[in-house]
Amino acid sequence: MSSETKSQTLGRWIPLECNPEVLNSWANKAGLVSSDFQFTDIYGFDEELLAMVPRPVQAILLLFPISDALEEKRREDDDKIKDQKLPENTLWIKQTIPNACGTIGLLHALANTNVSLVPESPLQQFIEAAKTKNPQERAEFLENTPLFANIHADAASTGQSAVPTDLDTDLHFTCFVEIKVDNEPHIIEFDGRRVGPFDRGVCPTGDFLKDVATLVRDVYVAQSSSIQYSMISLGPPSDW
């Protein structure tokens, strides 16, 4: 089945908003232990704003506007992915469902970190089953798991904005996780539109949050005059 035909068959999901209320709603329904881990806003790149983010940060989700410059850079980066070697337990899912990038970003964040999951929850069962599948099989597995479509739709309806009637969007989610490669902490980007997980290299300062913020500012924000960027961290619950 062609991508276009498959997309028409599957239908477009409602785009997720990038805010903690929506992402925590999704994660709680799917099976994240919310008393241990939550999603929190990252308000900016300044040291004072980054200091407000609860540590340690497990993963970072970025919502960004797609642009011609970023698309060209993505194609260049994709050529490098086939030569990169990551740990075998790295779990990446190809995006085949239109507007499912929010759910796929969440799955990437939760499947590649040491977060607490409710035993036998939809999330725990999906991740365990996905470990035995290749990326294409994982995509088909997600397509055939209607529960996640329902969780996605429920979370989308909790957002601060009205559900759009036009489901076309130029905004996209990607996810960053710190993974050790050859015993060194690397920033790994998980984007379902790519050809695989992308190793962005060693964390320059050893501070994952700070290093991802710098990467986002220099690689993503620098390519556009848009203000439609949002970052969310996955970490311990906030004390305030």
- CA separation for the pair 24, 187 (Å, rounded): 23
Q: Amino acid identity of 240?
A: W
- CA separation for the pair 67, 238 (Å, rounded): 34
For residue 69, give both structure tokens. 């410059």
Helices and strands of the chain, counted as H and E runs: 9, 6
Q: Which of 108, 152, 172, 186 is catalytic?
A: 172
Q: Which of 18, 101, 175, 203 is catalytic?
A: 101
Residue 18 is among the residues annotated as catalytic for this protein: no
Closest CA to 223 of 66, 78, 6, 106: 66
Residue 186 is among the residues annotated as catalytic for this protein: no
- CA separation for the pair 129, 138 (Å, rounded): 9
- CA separation for the pair 213, 172 (Å, rounded): 17
Q: Which residues are tagged catalytic?
A: 101, 172
